[in-house]
Amino acid sequence: MRCKKVIGQLSAYLDGQLSAAEREAVRSHVAGCARCRGELEALGRTVYAVADLPRLQAPSDLRDQVMAKLDQAAPAEARPPRWRVYWGAAAAVAFAVVIMLLTTRPTPSRTEPEAVPAAGKSVRGREIALANRDESAGRKGVDEKFLRTVTNLEPSAGPAYPFMAGRVMTGEIAASSIEQIVLPSANPRASYSNAFAVAAKGGWLPAELQKDAASDEQLKAPEAEQGAHPVLQFTFRMKQSQVPLLKDALAAAGLQAAEEKGVRAQEAQQTYNGAPRLAPARTDLDEVTQSRAGAAPVTALTVHEDRITTANTPMAAARAAPAAMRAPQSAVGGAAGGVQQPMAEKKTLPAEVTTVYLASKVEAAEEPLVQVTLLFPLAESPVPAAPPAAGAATSATPQ
Amino acid sequence: MSDTRADQQADAPAVKRTDAELAAASGRGDPAAFGELVLRHQDRAFNLAFRLTGSHEDAADAVQEAFLKAYRGMASFRRQSSFYTWLFRIVVNEVRSRQRSGSSRPAVFTLSSADGRSTGDPPDAAAGLRSTGPDPSEQASIAERRQIVEAALQSLEFDQRAIIALRDIEGRDYAEIAEMLGCPQGTVKSRLHRARMALKDSLAPKLGPMPQ
């Protein structure tokens, strides 16, 4: 396949709009072509950068302005009686005069305050595409790296419609490339916290990424303590039934290899020794996986019931589902293979499933939500000296 | 995909009417029903218009006019599409026609909407207003990055800007975008590609290696 043709398909590729054959053609070409790989990465970054722009709210008086003019704008279907039209015409004239007098009217607008979860505010596009997931996870193994961008996952929009707005864009990049995973943060305050990267192929974050990452408020927590492992933590909520897909996505990205080194939650906390806030003392820590040597470092995935939203969810189901997920692990006492077993089963999902609606329609309020915390270490060894960080005291788990 | 989704966007009282029901009531001349629709969709409509115009004032004007046109034209709202899709089409057309006619101010880049203020202020000053965020210097970097992205977006031609806004900001799928822009899906695909590539070329040298 020629580069020109491939590049012409990259946009659709990112959107999961290619056929399986086209997708595979692009994927295999990109794996072996540095130029096209670079194009794909740059395109993915561009898309993310746009999606990351802040959301604005309409001016507070917009509705009033509209409503004030409705009289002049009666629906065509429902023309009022003629005498009312006259009145309407008179009113329109009067209104026009008023408008002329108002030479400059303020149109205040503001962005959504990022520090405040947008309770009840609108959330946007909510398809989550975990595209091509099983291709590399199942057949290609962890050597296949993904560019996986989760854009614009906004925090809970209130208990009735929690989490899961936005879109996960997935593409694949070749094994030698930086692997990027951009996941939502429950803390919208630090915009950068919407994005994080882990190094692939045994590498760590490039210096510039490390620098950027360090500006994230959430990253200050681990760095604040001497001897801590810098760890990126992302906490968000998602539907219980979709958690296996997330795990698959992580697995496909080569981010865990629990069959070799599964560890218990307590051990994980020791792994994160020095960063206690990032290994929350939650008794319901479900699963911790440790990556294979040479791959990305320790990755921990914790799932527990979402305490905020369970009021709106069937509690029994919420409990039963995590229990089912825990079962394989407890059976092996948290030893090797605990997490991988269910993963392997999930990989049998049809390859053609490229888009998963994580929050479609009203089931969002009915299906149990789980809180997922992803921990991604940024460095192999503890931080020698903690930089003084203004936001250090901020809890790493905004929940 | 259509009304149900839109309904979820708003607050959720115990009993609430769907967009379709509200639209039908609006079409019968019920201003209150239309007011509810405005309330539900004004933020998204405004956000879209802002990304298309780069100006708070122009966006507000365009959205206001779009709502009025929607109200007037409620009879032509066919239920095959969601109210939201239909409204967005009106918003896009409104902004486009305003920019064509020159009634709108020329697209002026508005400094980071991150702090809700417009124009002029240096990013670090804007960031300094925030009490709870990262420290000002870090915030400045975020604001600067956004500023670059916004400026690059505004530098695109209208159709490219519109399709990127609908896809990458609003997260609409190709079919919806085709409906909103009144073009075939194949056009959406190719135009979106060209628009993203143009934006990429503009951004790549300016943004660092991270997808900020």
**A222 and A339 co-located in one domain:** yes
**A264 and A128 co-located in one domain:** yes
Nearest to B149 among A53, A66, A69 (CB): A53
CB of B52 within 8 Å of any CB in chain A?
no
Task: Determine, yes or no, domain membership for A364.
Answer: yes
B-contacting residues of A 41-80, CB under 8 Å? 42-59, 62-63, 65-67, 69-70, 72-78, 80
Question: Could you tell me which residues are beta bridge partners of residue A180?
Answer: A147, A197
pLDDT at B158: 92
Task: Determine, yes or no, domain membership for A250.
Answer: yes
Nearest to A46 among B112, B145, B196 (CB): B196
Query: In the structure, what pLDDT confidence band is assigned to residue B176 with cuts at 50, 70 and 90?
Result: confident
pLDDT at A281: 27
Closest to B38 in 3D by CA, of B64, B77, B8: B64
Whole-model pTM: value is: 0.46
Task: Determine, yes or no, domain membership for A88.
Answer: no
pLDDT at B63: 95
Residues B196, A167: C-beta atoms closer than 8 Å = no
pLDDT at A41: 79
A333 CA to chain B: closest CA distance, Å? Answer: 39
List, in order of start, the domains of chain B with CATH numbers.
1-105 (1.10.1740.10)
The answer for B120, left when phi > 0, alpha when psi is -120 to 50, beta otherwise, is left
Answer positive or negative: Cα dihedral of B43, B47, B48, B53: positive
Task: Determine, yes or no, domain membership for A131.
Answer: yes
Domain count, chain A: 2
Phi and psi at A308, nearest 5°, equal -75, -35
pLDDT at A314: 22
**A136 and A43 co-located in one domain:** no
**A204 and A305 co-located in one domain:** yes
Closest to B150 in 3D by CA, of B128, B177, B178, B123: B123
Q: How many Cα atoms sit within 13 Å of A373 on the Cβ side?
A: 29
Tokens read off for A116? 């405040």
**A135 and A28 co-located in one domain:** no
CA distance B149 to B196: 12
CA distance A376 to A198: 7
- The CA–CA distances, whole Å, from A239 to A29, A49, A198, A357 equal 35, 26, 25, 10
pLDDT at B169: 85
Count CB neighbours of A357 within 10 A: 17
Range of the domain at A306: 124-393
**A33 and A169 co-located in one domain:** no
Task: Determine, yes or no, domain membership for A347.
Answer: yes
Residues A74, B149: C-beta atoms closer than 8 Å = no
Q: Are A57 and A110 contacting, i.e. CB atoms less than 8 angstroms apart?
A: yes
CB of B193 within 8 Å of any CB in chain A?
yes
Task: Determine, yes or no, domain membership for A368.
Answer: yes
E-state strands within chain A: 56-57, 110-111, 145-151, 167-173, 179-182, 196-198, 231-239, 287-289, 299-305, 369-377
CA distance A263 to A243: 20
Contacts of B156 (CB under 8 A, 6+ apart): B164, B195, B198, B199, B202
**A176 and A317 co-located in one domain:** yes
pLDDT at B190: 92
pLDDT at B84: 86
Task: Determine, yes or no, domain membership for A105.
Answer: no
pLDDT at B112: 30
Indicate the pairing of strand A179-182 with strand A145-151. Answer: parallel
**A16 and A150 co-located in one domain:** no
Question: Stretch B36-57: mean pLDDT, rounded?
Answer: 91
CB of B116 within 8 Å of any CB in chain A?
yes
Q: Tell me whether residue A82 is exposed, middle or buried, using C-beta atoms within 10 angstroms of its C-beta: 0 to 12, 13 to 18, 19 or more.
A: exposed
Q: Does ipTM surpass 0.90 in this model?
A: no
Q: Which helix (H) or strand (E) holds A331?
A: helix A315-331
Query: In the structure, what pLDDT confidence band is assigned to residue B139 with cuts at 50, 70 and 90?
Result: low
pLDDT at A245: 56
pLDDT at A246: 54
Task: Determine, yes or no, domain membership for A75.
Answer: no
Q: Which helix (H) or strand (E) holds A184?
A: none
Residues of chain A found within 8 Å of residue B23, distances taken between Cβ atoms: none
One digit per residue, the tens of pLDDT, for chain A of length 399 reads 688 899 998 888 887 778 888 888 888 888 888 888 888 878 877 887 887 788 888 898 898 888 888 876 555 444 433 333 333 333 333 222 222 222 222 333 333 332 222 222 222 222 222 222 222 222 222 222 222 222 222 222 222 111 222 222 222 222 222 222 333 332 322 222 222 322 222 222 333 334 444 443 333 332 323 333 333 444 444 555 555 555 555 554 444 332 222 233 333 333 333 332 222 222 222 222 222 222 222 233 333 332 222 111 222 222 223 333 333 332 222 223 222 222 222 222 222 111 122 222 223 344 555 444 444 443 333 334 433 333 333 233 333
**A42 and A134 co-located in one domain:** no
Q: Are A133 and A170 contacting, i.e. CB atoms less than 8 angstroms apart?
A: yes
Whether B21 has a pLDDT exceeding 70, the answer reads: yes
**In sequence order, what DSSP letters do the residues of A278-303 get, joined into one string?**
GS---TT--EEE-PPTTSS--EEEEE
Q: How many Cα atoms sit within 13 Å of A387 on the Cβ side?
A: 11
Query: In the structure, what pLDDT confidence band is assigned to residue B50 with cuts at 50, 70 and 90?
Result: very high
Name the maximum alpha-carbon separation found in chain A. Answer: 83
**A46 and A132 co-located in one domain:** no
**pLDDT, tens only, A309-352:** 211 122 222 222 333 333 333 222 222 322 222 222 222 222 21
CA distance A273 to B184: 56
Higher pLDDT, B147 or A281: B147
A378 CA to chain B: closest CA distance, Å? Answer: 15
Q: Are A186 and A162 contacting, i.e. CB atoms less than 8 angstroms apart?
A: no
pLDDT at A335: 29
**A198 and A343 co-located in one domain:** yes
Nearest to B170 among A75, A125, A189 (CB): A125
Residues B27, A78: C-beta atoms closer than 8 Å = yes
Q: How many helices (H) and strands (E) does chain A have?
A: 14, 10
CA distance A91 to A79: 16
Q: Are A392 and A242 contacting, i.e. CB atoms less than 8 angstroms apart?
A: no
CA distance A170 to A107: 39
CA distance A8 to B171: 21
Whether B88 has a pLDDT exceeding 60, the answer reads: yes
**A35 and A154 co-located in one domain:** no
